[in-house]
Amino acid sequence: MEALFTSLSPVELVKKTCHRLGIKLGERILAVSISRRTLQFFRGGVLVKSYVISTSKRPPSNVKNSLGTPRGLHEIAERIGAGQPPGMVFKSRVSTGYHFSEMLAREPNNDNLITSRILWLRGLEAGVNQGGDVDTYHRYVYIHGTNHDEKIGEPLSAGCVLMRNLEIVELYEEVRHGDHVWIGD
């Protein structure tokens, strides 16, 4: 697998991978750099916005139960949370009806919450991040908000890409089902 930031731009890496896989390149691309802890949003090949993010506390990995952030080309398989207020907690992709501050009061030991919006990822590379023991979708890997906005930029998750609550709400409004997501070192 190629590194995210080689001499090729993230957009060029996605184009090259889509061509190799016979996938039509979409208008919108998200490019996640695990080492730089950034998510870049491109539209029509032009950088629209860059966000500071958090990824896994563990090394990157595509393997089931590794708790590492998976690499490679993905797509947004599902968008969850439209209309919910920022900070809303989700369990099993369903709104609990509670803001994370209320949830922590109810369940103080539940410290790493999924909040605001969920972009559920599906791997597009068979044997890399799709199928068998390397299936991103069946690992329930998301881009989502967190109850730890102040820690964004630090390794924090169990494999997901974490964003500040207001930023994931903003990004959610810009992306669509099927948009490509490149995750690299």
- For residues 99-137, one letter each, b for 16 or more C-beta atoms within 10 angstroms of the residue's C-beta and e for the rest, the string is bbeebbeeeeeeeebbbbbbbbbbbbbeebbbeeebbbb
For 149, phi then psi, to 5°, come to: -50, -35
Residue 25 lies in a domain: yes
pLDDT value of position 13? 93
Domain with 145, as residue range(s), is 10-184
pLDDT at 30 over 90: yes
Range 120-137 average pLDDT: 98
Query: Measured between alpha carbons, how far is 174 from 14 in angstroms, rounded to an integer?
Result: 19
In a domain, 134, yes or no: yes
Task: Indicate the residue type of 139.
Answer: R
Say whether 20 sits in a helix, a strand or coil.
helix
Q: Is residue 2 part of a domain?
A: no
Residue labelled with tokens 């629209």: 48
100, amino acid identity: F
- Given a cut of 90, whether residue 27 has pLDDT beyond it is yes
Number of domains forming the structure of the chain = 1
The pLDDT value recorded for residue 4 is 44
Q: Is 2 a residue whose pLDDT tops 50?
A: no
Q: Is residue 179 part of a domain?
A: yes
What CATH number is associated with residue 119? 2.40.440.10
Asked if residue 3 has pLDDT above 50, the reply is no
In a domain, 120, yes or no: yes
pLDDT tens per residue, range 51-95: 999 999 999 999 999 999 999 999 999 999 999 999 999 999 999
Inside any domain, residue 4: no
- pLDDT (mean) for 140-149: 97
CB 37 within 8 A of CB 153: yes
Does some domain include residue 31? yes
